[in-house]
Amino acid sequence: MSDPSLRQRNRRGLLKGEQVHALAREVAYGKQGHLEASDWQAQTLSANCLTLIMACIIYWQAKEIYRVILEADSQNEELDWSLLEHISPIGWSNLILYGEYVLDPGLIHPPVGSA
């Protein structure tokens, strides 16, 4: 751990792990992070739902970051492209996590190849 670059890389990895845990706590806020299910199957289902929601948030954030990068003017000399390595899709401060979500079943398409 005497190598400063190795220390910095390890620290960055630890911080990303902390961001993931903070996102999980924020998404599971309504239950204060507790699984109230009594049996293993229900606990697994709750944990899987939490993981799915987190994956959706991270995917959406990554997609938005990519969209902004594509729309940016690459010839603009004021943009510092080296800062991209410090952007993480794990953040959620621009999202509203709580509220009513209405899903339109008409917009859900069956997977390709299913009957």
- Residue 18: domain span: 10-73
Q: Could you tell me if residue 50 is inside a domain?
A: yes
Higher pLDDT, 53 or 76: 53
Q: Which two tokens stand for residue 94?
A: 């621009």
Q: By the 8 A CB rule, do 26 and 92 touch?
A: yes
pTM of the model as a whole: 0.63
Residues 34-72: pLDDT tens digits?
A: 667 788 888 788 888 888 888 888 898 899 888 888 888
Domains identified in the chain, total number? 1
Alpha carbon distance 101, 95 (integer Å): 13
Residue 41, domain member (yes or no)? yes
Specify if 103 maps to a domain: no
How far apart are the C-alpha atoms of 10 and 15, rounded to whole Å? 9
Distance of alpha carbon 33 from alpha carbon 97, whole angstroms: 15
90 falls within a domain: no
Per-residue confidence (pLDDT) for residue 42, from 0 to 100: 82
Q: Is residue 58 situated within a structural domain?
A: yes
H helix and E strand count, the chain:
2, 0
